[in-house]
Amino acid sequence: MQLDIAFIIEKLLLISVILLGSLGIAMYATWAERKVAAVMQDRRGPNRAGFMGLFQPLADGLKLFFKEEIIPDRSTRFLFILGPALAMLTAVMTSAVVPWGPDIVTENGVISLQVADINIGILFIFGVVSLGVYGVMLGGWASNNKFSLLSSIRAASQAISYELAMGLSLVAMLMMTGSLSLREIVEQQHGFWDGNYFTWNFFKQPLGFFIFLTCAFAELNRAPFDLPECESELNMGYHQEYSSMKLGFYLFAEYINLFISSTVIATLFFGGYNFPFMDQVAASVSPVLFAIICVLTLLTKAICIILFFMFIRWTLPRFRYDQLMRLGWRSLIPLALVNMVITGAVILWVIK
Amino acid sequence: MGVYEIIFWFLTVMALSCALGVILSRNPVNSVLFLIATFFAISGHYILLNAQFLAIVNIIVYAGAIMVLFLFVIMLMNLNADTEPQKNRLVQIAGAVSGGTLLLVILAALRTSTITTLDQTSTDIGLIKNLGKTLFTQFVLPFEISSVLFLSAMIGAVVIGRKETEKEA
């Protein structure tokens, strides 16, 4: 096994760009969330720091950094610190398997815009998502606060319940694609119209998409499923005892998760970096420019989905906990199973 | 010693020390965390064997689901080192005897076995395509039977859960 220095440097560069990019987008997602809320509630939103409040995320970050760091006396110190660290780690790990753009073919070789093209890409995402619950659980338990504990247990049971429906909804889609690699799934959705039908998976699996989207809301702890942060019942949530940047990491991790999962949804169901008439565009511009256009396409799709998440948050009221569980176990899982059976029948008898 | 060996020994040491941590740590939450680290080390071994599917399923199922439930129960019951019940002498002796017997059996089994050297040529047997084909052709009957087993366990759990709520109502 030989180490290829150029390869490692290329990957490190790519990882840094993706990390910084997701951090930046997550930062401005907090700003966008406030602006969207303001628009929907007929307010102005943040408008003091910079033009249209564009420096507001920086000011918030600075404020969080300079706050006093308090570790409760009766907390389990190591786990208390591990909690936000794990939340942040699992939030950024998913970005490794997302194909951000097509390969750039130059004279010196092929540059891939994906950190790792593993043949089990979707399962990797599932693995990381299922680990994401540890950050919340450990933080809530280590705080030694009853409300934090209740909240973290809520978060864990919600995440586990919705992971099932999420997996089942994807199984139907995977039966269509026949591959677990995200790169192959994206390449199958090339263009927009293949002569007979749409290539994007959204048009092949509409029901699967809606189940997946609902589960994504629950996995992200976003309204209407933000029960772990239900202030009226739990004071604040699992991060009640946290202060300063450790609280910041928890809140920030949620926005990174929001961005990455929007990217994953765009990749799985809306063709990733593909766009209509891409072959004509590819023929007329240089490969590098084409790759940039593709990346921007993916980012545009992801931002549209983020905005959709935000509109929903400020439109729908919060569910009750038993309603949440009933929806997950009694509606979504049977629905996903039915979707799976129908997909199987269609593949067997219609498509062949 | 190449990169492969270094990773192999690192993972082995990590797996063994974390497994020791599971049984030696006083706090049950720490035990669970050590167990999760052990699963990660074992998944690393799977990846070294080019069995990516097994590696990730190991993480999803054990680290991601079962260990969360373990943690769940421990947190809900608030098990701490000081609430640990005092074990009586008889239980300790029984534990030592059964553990010693197990060790003896393992030693006897190991004595006759030969240790094959590590084969570093990559195989594709652990990839999901080959695994799926093997499971649904050669081993389809055991596979289906085990799924029925899981189903019965699930139904059993639901039945046990239902009875109590009916009594209360």
Angle at A162 between CA B33 and CA A134, to 5 degrees: 20
For an interface test with A, give the residue of B7, B71, B120, B125 to mutate (most A CBs within 10 A).
B71
The chain B residue lying nearest A122, using CA atoms, is B56
Please report whether residue B64 resides in a domain.
Answer: yes
Please report whether residue B166 resides in a domain.
Answer: no
Please report whether residue B67 resides in a domain.
Answer: yes
- Per the structure, how many domains does chain B have? 1
ipTM of the complex: 0.80
Going by pLDDT thresholds of 50, 70 and 90, the confidence category of residue A1 is very low
Cis peptide before A224 (omega within 30 of 0): yes
Q: Tokens for A46?
A: 């943040």
A325 neighbourhood in chain B, CB within 8 Å: none
Residues within 8 A of B (CB atoms), A 120-139 only: 120, 123-124, 126-127, 129-131, 133-134, 137-138
A129 neighbourhood in chain B, CB within 8 Å: 64
- Residue A269 CA to residue A181 CA, distance in Å, equals 14
A1 neighbourhood in chain B, CB within 8 Å: 2-4
Of B29, B64, B69, the CB nearest to A141: B29
Q: Do A157 and B4 touch (CB under 8 A)?
A: no
* Structural domain boundaries, residue B149: 3-161
A123 neighbourhood in chain B, CB within 8 Å: 53, 56-57, 60
Q: Do B65 and A160 touch (CB under 8 A)?
A: yes
Task: Assess contact for A69 and A80: CB atoms under 8 A.
Answer: no
CATH number at residue B120: 1.20.120.1200
Q: What is the pLDDT of residues A12-43, one digit of tens each?
A: 888 888 889 888 888 888 888 888 888 888 88
Please report whether residue B140 resides in a domain.
Answer: yes
Backbone angles phi, psi at A115, to 5 degrees: -65, -50
The chain B residue lying nearest A148, using CA atoms, is B75
Please report whether residue B167 resides in a domain.
Answer: no
Residues near A256 by beta carbon (within 8 Å), at least 6 away in sequence: A22, A23, A26, A88, A91, A92
Q: Give the closest residue to A245 by CA, choosing from A87, A78, A11, A52.
A: A87
Q: Do A131 and B65 touch (CB under 8 A)?
A: no
CA distances from B23 to A180, B30, B71 (A): 37, 10, 16
Please report whether residue B168 resides in a domain.
Answer: no
Nearest CA-CA distance, residue B30 and chain A, Å: 9
Helix (H, G, I), strand (E, B) or coil at A109: strand
Please report whether residue B36 resides in a domain.
Answer: yes
Q: Rounded to two decimals, what is the model's pTM?
A: 0.85
> Counting one residue from A and one from B, how many pairs have CB atoms under 8 Å apart?
66
- Residue B85 CA to residue B70 CA, distance in Å, equals 19
* Antiparallel, parallel or unpaired: β A109-111 and A104-106: antiparallel
Going by pLDDT thresholds of 50, 70 and 90, the confidence category of residue B65 is confident
Residues linked to residue A109 through DSSP beta bridges, in sequence order: A106
Of A119, A126, A153, the CB nearest to B52: A119
Please report whether residue B142 resides in a domain.
Answer: yes
Q: What is the pLDDT of residues A295-305, one digit of tens each?
A: 888 889 899 99
Q: Do B75 and A131 touch (CB under 8 A)?
A: no
Q: What is the pLDDT of residues A62-101, one digit of tens each?
A: 888 888 888 888 777 888 888 888 888 888 888 888 888 7
Please indicate if any CB of chain B lies within 8 Å of the CB of A156. yes
Residue A200 has pLDDT above 70, yes or no: yes
- Residue A222 CA to residue A218 CA, distance in Å, equals 6
